[in-house]
Amino acid sequence: MSLEQVIEEILSSAGAEREKLISQARSEAEGIISRAKKEAERRITAAREEAEGRADAIVKRAVSSAALEGKRMELEMRKRLLEDLKGRVMESILSRPQEDILRKLISKYGAGGERYYTCERFAQELKRIVGPKFGGTIPCTGGVVIEKEGGNVRTDCTYDTILEDIWNSNLPDISRALFGGDE
């Protein structure tokens, strides 16, 4: 299963959660707006004696502020959902048999590699694949770094880098799939 298929699988399973979180954020925003309107009405009654025009300005500021706060809360909720989804994608990758994934990465990107590096967690799998060309462990979540030309060229095929590249290039599509077409 490719990384894109894993992302699609997780995106489809996140649909119900997406709706729930967006509904909660919208409900909270409506509550904030409702409370802000009540506060504005109270202020209007007290301020009416002073000046009707001043009361209108207070209402506008209160509603605008509440709307901005609601939008901020919704954006924060979306950000947390996206971060959670990205973490679940990584967990899904890490739960798969690593030797097959490492072999595929080396086959695709590692021709002529002189040294191969991975995280401590998957060092034994990489050693079985590359034998004496195993260069050691590096700080990463998984995947492989391939060193060529006497160490002058390194190809970073770590999961962190691959997921970040795919995530960034597909973020608009991911956001549309989760939150609808307004992204």
- State pLDDT tens for residues 32-58: 778 777 877 877 676 667 777 777 788
- What is the pLDDT of the chain when averaged over all its residues? 84
3-state SS class at 1: coil
| Residue 26 to residues 71, 173, 175, Cα–Cα distance (Å) | 9, 22, 17
Q: pLDDT at position 146, please?
A: 94
For residue range 16-34, list pLDDT tens digits in order: 677 776 777 678 777 877 8
Give every CB contact of residue 98 below 8 A, 6+ residues apart in sequence: 122, 125, 142
Going by pLDDT thresholds of 50, 70 and 90, the confidence category of residue 151 is: confident
3-state SS class at 16: helix
pLDDT over 70 percentage in the chain: 88
Helix (H) or strand (E) holding 51: none
Burial of 43 (0-12, 13-18, 19+ CB in 10 A): middle
Query: Any idea which residue has 């002529």 for tokens?
Result: 112
Q: pLDDT at position 105, please?
A: 92
For residue range 97-126, list pLDDT tens digits in order: 999 999 999 999 887 888 999 999 999 999
Q: Could you tell me where the beta strands, DSSP code E, fall in the chain? A: 115-118, 134-137, 143-148, 153-158
Q: pLDDT at position 23, please?
A: 76
For residue range 161-170, list pLDDT tens digits in order: 999 999 999 8
Cβ proximity of 36 and 5 under 8 Å? no
For residue range 169-178, list pLDDT tens digits in order: 988 888 888 8
Q: pLDDT at position 27, please?
A: 81
Pairing of strands 134-137, 115-118: parallel
How many residues in the chain?
183
Does residue 183 carry a pLDDT above 50?
no
Give every CB contact of residue 23 below 8 A, 6+ residues apart in sequence: none
**What is the domain class of 98-161 according to CATH?**
alpha beta
- What would the two tokens of residue 56 be? 């209108």
